[in-house]
Structure 1
Amino acid sequence: MRMWSRKNSLSGVKIRSDMDAREATVLRSLVESVVGLLRDREADAPTDELAAMTGLRTGHSSPPEDAALARLLPDFHRPDSGSDTSNLNGALRGLHEPEIIDDKLAASRVILDTIPTNGGKVVLTPAQADSWLMGLNDVRLALGTTLGIDADTPEVLDEGDPRAPHLDVYHWLTWMQDSLVQVLIP
């Protein structure tokens, strides 16, 4: 993949890059995996008679058990001390999680709609580029959590480490996201 570039045209600002077929396949697969996690969470949401009558959707009151999904949908409030905020987090999660999932799915849809199937040019509007940033961030969070990446993870893993090729993908996603941020900064 080439670094993102910014081009001004008569039709407005366009953000551009090129992606080869392998990169497009990897990115599509990762985004689809995140979409699957989010759709499963959405489908498993509790149903509520009041929500059905009012049209207001409610989400789960408890955090996801899956670590990657929990990273994508964290608690809303973390206490400073040992106080219990599970009721507060449950209420906030129930109110806001459906819309958060909608936003994450919308960002993923933009990526899936604009990735060239067999590689090639990627041309985005600034709004689409913002969606790419959101979606790439979600993919990085999910992959990083699955791989157990933290501040102590070395930049390069031993060849025998089964996470090594996945860490390379994580670094590629980081580079892609950073390159996109840099081109969006005026």
Structure 2
Amino acid sequence: MSGLKLRSEMDAREASVLRSLVGAVSGLLGERASSAPEDELAALTGLRSGNTAPPDDPRLARLLPEFHRAEPGSPDADRADLNSALRGLHEPEIIDEKLAAAGVVLHTLPEDGGKILITPEEADAWLTALTDVRLALGVVLEIDADTPEQFAPDDPRAPHLDVYHWLTWMQDSLLQAMAP
């Protein structure tokens, strides 16, 4: 391995938490991909098609949002068919990219923690996977602009908010390390 490398280290507990979260998001995405209906035209042409309906799971809906959001009252405000078509065409490759990014994290992150050495391309994959984990976790924690920095100690979401902040810090640190 030659060229620029980014170095870091994680202890065993951090590595376990991150591997678990990335694995969970990968599992959601994999289930979504495998739920796509069989398409005879896709089988004949070799072009893959995906689900045309948006995901029911709010975490997946955040990871795979609608493609087109019309302004209320605009002529195309009720164009659900446009979103269906775009979703069917593009969702498989979007899921593939997200799963590939997660795979890079799982491949480059030592199972028991330790030194991490990644290329800039692998760092991009880490950023993608961290974003996906933060989006999914943010849905579960109901993160929005009004979310406090900390939940009350008796709030069952409190420890998970700490993890969310840790992921945010990790993502920010990686971005700073990649900056010229």
Aligned to 1:4: none
Task: Indicate the structure with greater strand content.
Answer: 1
Aligned to 1:44: 35
Select 1:110's aligned residue among 104, 108, 116. Answer: 104
Aligned to 1:61: 52
Structure 1 counterpart of 2:86, one-letter code: L
Structure 2 counterpart of 1:142, one-letter code: A
| CA distance in 2 between partners of 1:68 and 1:95 (Å) | 21
The yes-or-no answer on 1:94 pairing with 2:94 is: no
| CA distance in 2 between partners of 1:184 and 1:80 (Å) | 37
1:139-180 residue CA offsets vs partner (Å, 9 max, x unmatched): 000000111111111001100000000000000000000000
Question: Contact between 1:78 and 1:85, CA under 8 Å: does it hold in 2?
Answer: no
**Cα RMSD (Å) of the superposition?**
0.9
| CA distance in 1 between partners of 2:173 and 2:71 (Å) | 35
SS at match of 1:18: strand
| CA distance in 2 between partners of 1:158 and 1:175 (Å) | 21
1:89-110 residue CA offsets vs partner (Å, 9 max, x unmatched): 0000000000000000000000
Q: Identity percentage over the alignment? A: 66
- Using structure 2 for the length normalisation, give the TM-score: 0.97
The yes-or-no answer on 1:73 pairing with 2:64 is: yes
Q: Any runs of at least 4 consecutive aligned residues in structure 1 with deviations exceeding 3 A, and if so which? A: none
1:26-49 residue CA offsets vs partner (Å, 9 max, x unmatched): 000000000010010001001111
Shift of 1:112: 0.3
| CA distance in 1 between partners of 2:139 and 2:112 (Å) | 29
Aligned to 1:17: 8
| CA distance in 2 between partners of 1:51 and 1:11 (Å) | 41
Unaligned residue ranges in structure 2 (runs of 5+): none
Aligned pair count reads: 177
- Using structure 1 for the length normalisation, give the TM-score: 0.94
| CA distance in 1 between partners of 2:51 and 2:91 (Å) | 7
Unaligned residue ranges in structure 1 (runs of 5+): 1-9
Q: How does 1:128-147 map to 2 (within 5 A)?
A: 128-147=122-141
Aligned to 1:6: none
Shift of 1:85: 2.2
